[in-house]
Amino acid sequence: MKLPNRLRGCVQGLAVTVAIHGLGGVAAESANPTPATVPGYEFRPGSIDGTGKWFMGREIAHYMSHQGAMWLEREEREEEEQPNELIRLLDLKPGQSVADIGAGSGYFTWRMAHKVAPAGRVFANDLQPEMLTILRTNMGRHQATNVVAVQGSSTNVNLPAASLDLALLVDVYHECDHPKEIIASLCEALKDGGRLVLVEYRGEDRWIPIKPLHKMTADQVVREMSIHPLAQVSTNRLSRQHVLIFRRMDRAHGSKARL
């Protein structure tokens, strides 16, 4: 289903379709330095459709309304974004406990659920209860019985401590209105060595037809993650998106962001 340009703008102010091709992996296991102080938020004018709230030099985008949920389920997305390629890259194993943060309609949730079944489970987290209602219906359609829907807040994902093998955020981080608190709460929820996977449209590529606030450069993502107890593992490229993978440092060794 194609949305008219006008509606696309409203839906998320962006989230256009994406075709995922190769998965060119660049491995780079490195521990990020933790700065002595964590930057705060600034409030100043920015884009005409932006929030006016800034973090580490980036204006935070508005989040996508549940009224656009059908667009997340459009048929062309399969061809345009090749979600199965992304799932393959995650290398999920049966029995793992994983989370789809900002799960929306559950487009990735059921795919993850099938991979970790039967003993594993997926926490499907979203800010909007309406999204979780839609997601529950979609999990039924896809026979994904090992999904637990969890409503998060702007500052907390509300997931059990040290419980996750992996947390996935597809097209979500750039629109978190408290990004440092959300990632800090995710670091609490990840097991030592658990993976955090951020998928964002590439801000470096002007040709990608997504509004600038809804894209991020890899450098910006890495800079923002550097305040957390995370080590960068790899940067992969889909046709229009980055797939940035980090590992939660061991609690015995990693230091935490002071928020």
Ligand X SMILES: C[S@@+](CC[C@H](N)C(=O)[O-])C[C@H]1O[C@@H](n2cnc3c(N)ncnc32)[C@H](O)[C@@H]1O
Footprint of ligand X (CB under 6 A): 12, 15, 63-64, 72, 101-104, 107-108, 125-128, 131, 152, 154, 170-172, 175-176, 182
Which pair of tokens denotes residue 53? 């709230």
- Of the pair 210, 249, the CB lying nearest ligand X is at 210
- Give me the least distance between CB of 66 and ligand X, in Å please: 7
- Give me the least distance between CB of 229 and ligand X, in Å please: 20
Within 10 A of 8 (CB to CB), how many other CB atoms are there? Answer: 19
- Of the pair 72, 231, the CB lying nearest ligand X is at 72
Residues 6+ apart with CB under 8 A from 66: 128, 130, 131, 134
At 54, is the secondary structure helix, strand, or coil? strand
User: Omega of the bond prior to 118 within 30 degrees of 0, cis?
Assistant: yes
- Of the pair 102, 254, the CB lying nearest ligand X is at 102
- Give me the least distance between CB of 104 and ligand X, in Å please: 3
- Of the pair 71, 231, the CB lying nearest ligand X is at 71
- Give me the least distance between CB of 28 and ligand X, in Å please: 25
- Of the pair 128, 232, the CB lying nearest ligand X is at 128
Distance CA 92, CA 140 (A): 21
Distance CA 244, CA 239 (A): 14
User: Omega of the bond prior to 4 within 30 degrees of 0, cis?
Assistant: no
- Give me the least distance between CB of 105 and ligand X, in Å please: 6
- Give me the least distance between CB of 176 and ligand X, in Å please: 4
Chain Cα centroid distance, residue 170: 4
Distance CA 236, CA 181 (A): 25
- Of the pair 127, 218, the CB lying nearest ligand X is at 127
Query: In terms of DSSP bridges, do strands 190-202 and 164-170 run parallel, antiparallel, or are they unpaired?
Result: parallel
